[in-house]
Structure 1
Amino acid sequence: MTTDTSEPTVTLDALDLSALLCSRVCHDVISPVGAIVNGLEVLEDEDSAEMRDFALDLIRKSAKQASARLQFARIAFGAAGSAGASIDLADAENVSRGMFGDEKTRLSWSAPRALFPKNQVKLLLNLVVIAVTAIPRGGVIDVKVTGEAESPLFVLTAKGAYARIPPHVEALIAGAPASGTVDAHAIQPFYAGLVARAAAMAVRFSIEGDTVTIRAEPAAPAGTDVEPDVEADDNGI
């Protein structure tokens, strides 16, 4: 199914959008920052060398995690430079690996070392977030970027046990949530749709077996007839 690139049926004013995005970023960093605080409390209260080593290891890992999440958010949700700026795809790869590369999820990345328009890169990173949620038990995410910045193709595949297209994600990217509202839990895919429209790109989801595929490519001009996606229809997507 290809998401609708027309104007969304639900809109947020600038204050609501910024508040929900801030809530999302805060949610992502609360856990590791809280772990750092706990580790510091252990250092203050414990004399045991073993417990102090445990606390230092906790602080070290949590600080690294918090830093990775903030660096990712800076590009995926933030301005990351002045209006009209470009972003190196290598930077997108680095922050994605820092954010999601762990024992649970393996990230494979194939993209040219090139500068792409800011909104295209922001869309790519937000699609990585969605790909991660498509495999809740972990697995392999493969990111491929081909074509030039003027006409790119993003193909992300998420393969793992219990893979599924995340609930409501297609409607949220289209800007038409069934509930008619957007909250902090739904803001990320809704924002991805806003970025897709700003980048004039269409996003399509499909699933086959244990693999979810997300494609993003330049949207067809308004009024252009697009052939129906027979394969997607056959799969009931």
Structure 2
Amino acid sequence: MTAISLDPLDLAALLCSRVCHDVISPVGAIVNALEVLEEDDPSMREFALELIKKSARNASARLQFARLAFGAAGSAGAMIDLGDAGNVANGFLNDEKLSLDWEAPRALLPKNQVKLLLNLLLIATQAVPRGGRLVSRATVEGEQGSFEITATGSHARIPAHVEDLIAGRSEGGTIDAHAVQPVYTGMVARAAGMAIALSIEGETVTIKAARAA
């Protein structure tokens, strides 16, 4: 494995590609539903309206999550409420395949710590590709948080190459938009002075993050 060399402009472009990839599906569904409405078929009107409502909620939830997980989230040194982060995570991750239990105190933490927690949740979803249950636990001492996320489901596994990507390594030292999220997670962890550990037992993957030694 080779250390990843990533120009800041390339990082920004890859993150934008990732966010667009996440949002394009529900937005496309809204466009399709609007085309159905234009056909003026009464039998399809209710279906189209319901699809628009569902897809609009989905797109909004994805954008709110991306804003906290990848965005600036306020000025340098900003603090984020874990309760607000939990609301955003629940809106994005709870669906037909996944359920999220958010166990965290209502506390303010530095933004990079909260961004790290949200990005670790994204990695946890990749650990249960067929869906399952996520449990996100946070403990807070002063302005320092520590996190433990468990992902339980059929065919659970630690996502391929994710530990190397978090550490900033890849084959050839390059990445694409599919790999940028774990690379970014590692960057945020290092900026927050925290270390990440992944383990698996049976059908449960555990991801922990705590202050680096």
**Paired residue secondary structure (1:182):** coil
Work out which of the residue numbers 78, 82, 87 in structure 2 matches 1:89.
82
Letter in 2 for 1:14: P
Query: Unmatched 5+ residue regions in structure 2?
Result: none
TM-score scaled by structure 2? Answer: 0.97
Per the alignment, do residues 149 and 134 of structure 1 end up closer, same or farther by CA in structure 2, a change over 3 Å counting?
farther
Q: C-alpha root-mean-square deviation of aligned residues, in Å?
A: 1.1
Please give the alpha-carbon distance, in whole angstroms, between the structure 2 residues aligned to 1:149 and 1:168: 34
Q: Which residue of 2 aligns with 1:35?
A: 29
Structure with greater helix percent: 2
Residue 133 of structure 2 corresponds to residue 167 of structure 1: no
The aligned counterpart of 1:182 is 175
What is the CA–CA distance in structure 2 between the aligned matches of 1:49 and 1:148, rounded to whole Å? 58
Deviations 1:4-39 (A, max 9, x none): xxxx92131211010000000000000000111111
| Contact 1:117 1:149 (8 Å CA) reproduced | no
Query: Which contiguous aligned blocks of 4+ residues in structure 1 show a shift greater than 3 angstroms?
Result: none
What are the Cα deviations for residues 185-237 of structure 1, in whole angstroms up to 9, with x where unaligned?
A: 000000000000000000000000000000000001xxxxxxxxxxxxxxxxx
Residue in structure 2 matched with residue 79 of structure 1 by the alignment: 72
Does structure 1 residue 212 correspond to structure 2 residue 205?
yes
Larger Rg: 1
Q: Counterparts of 1:164 and 1:149 in 2: how far apart (Å)?
A: 34
Equivalent pairs counted in the alignment come to 212
| CA–CA distance in structure 2, aligned partners of residues 195 and 133 of structure 1 | 19
Query: SS at 2:171's partner residue?
Result: coil
Runs of 5+ unmatched residues, structure 1: 1-7, 221-237
SS at 2:141 equivalent:
coil
Q: Which of 102, 126, 129 does residue 133 from structure 1 map onto?
A: 126
CA drift at 1:149? 4.6
